[in-house]
Structure 1
């Protein structure tokens, strides 16, 4: 067998395809695709997980002059939306939907409003009589105050958003069924975190 100038033996024709055969025999392409899938699932889980900021616990009841918590106003629901973007002056926008057909279309929401957060949250007070038996809430923090939820690659939102029941989905927004709430029979308070 001839020896090249750098003293390495030449590969025989049978050895040239050895690595290619080993890759095929061990299902290398399948293993590589599986590793890529695991990587993408991990990225999606990181993207969908809430930020690690501590949650601010604020009582939704009102406080009288003796610093005692007073009960909620009669026949209302208080919707508190908390954000982690404390330095943003953009408003938090909310929409309340009464059917799966209108869900996700703010123009068809039965209630839509916006408030500028103070100390990282806003609170809406809505009369229970105004709400349908079942409803869903969507909210987002409009950081640049342009009136729409900004999106990036693959239509992923880049501004903090959240839904009733704090519902999340790995791919796309949660469904109406995941966010649906029953109208309470007495005054209550709920919290939605946008992140």
Structure 2
């Protein structure tokens, strides 16, 4: 009887947790070639935005096919998320920069904000992920 009750409690808890989860659909466009991969950092808070690997909620690598990289990420807790991406031609996991620190590799941010005044804020790039729904992030590389 106790085992049945524990099993029922676990099932209810598990289904409640799954209801609080959403999905992120990533579409990265405007790649210069199918060489290399797209490196992605997903942040759920502004701390560490946009480059800190250890502060990112998730890091994802996506292959490129016909100039587009696509990935669906399930089981995302509800909240705000911002994404930064770059085209990693040599697949070393690091964005190449010139002598003054500007990226040589193509890069982009969620919501495709203007870069006129430098790196956009977490808030400018964030979108809400809601439980039971899919949030689409389409990012154009520059």
- The structural deviation recorded for 1:100 is 1.1
| Deviations 1:149-194 (CA, angstroms, capped at 9, x unpaired) | 1111321111100011012322432111211111145224331111
Name the SS for the 1:101 alignment partner.
Answer: coil
Does structure 1 residue 133 correspond to structure 2 residue 106?
no
Query: What TM-score results when the alignment is normalised by the length of structure 2?
Result: 0.74
Q: Residues of 2 paired with 1:180 and 1:148: CA distance?
A: 23
Does structure 1 conserve the Cα–Cα contact (< 8 Å) formed by 2:39 and 2:60?
yes
Equivalent pairs, count:
119
- Give 4+ residue runs of structure 1 displaced > 3 Å after superposition: none
The aligned counterpart of 1:149 is 95
Name the counterpart of 1:51.
none
Gaps of 5+ in 2: 1-21
For the residue of structure 1 that corresponds to 2:111, the secondary structure is helix
Instruction: Calculate the TM-score normalised by the size of structure 1.
Output: 0.56
Q: Which has the higher contact order (CA 8 A, sep 6+)?
A: 2
Give the number of the structure whose residues are more often helix, by fraction: 1
1:93 aligns with 2:93: no
CA contact (8 A) 2:31 2:67 kept: yes
CA distance in 1, matches of 2:25, 2:128: 14
| C-alpha contact 1:140 1:159 (8 A) present in aligned 2 | yes
Pairwise CA distance, 1:76: 2.6
Aligned to 1:191: 138
| Contact persistence 2:29–2:140 (CA under 8 A) | yes
* Equivalent position to 1:158, from 98, 104, 119: 104
Unaligned runs of 5+ in 1: 1-74
- SS of aligned partner of 2:138: strand
Instruction: Indicate conservation of the 8 Å contact 1:80/1:124, yes or no.
Output: yes
Alignment root-mean-square deviation, CA:
1.8
Q: Does 1:117 align with 2:68?
A: no
Query: In the alignment, does 2:115 pair up with 1:169?
Result: yes
C-alpha distance after superposition, 1:59-85 (max 9, x if no partner): xxxxxxxxxxxxxxxx53311111331
Q: 1:99: Cα distance to partner?
A: 1.2
Deviations 1:8-65 (A, max 9, x none): xxxxxxxxxxxxxxxxxxxxxxxxxxxxxxxxxxxxxxxxxxxxxxxxxxxxxxxxxx
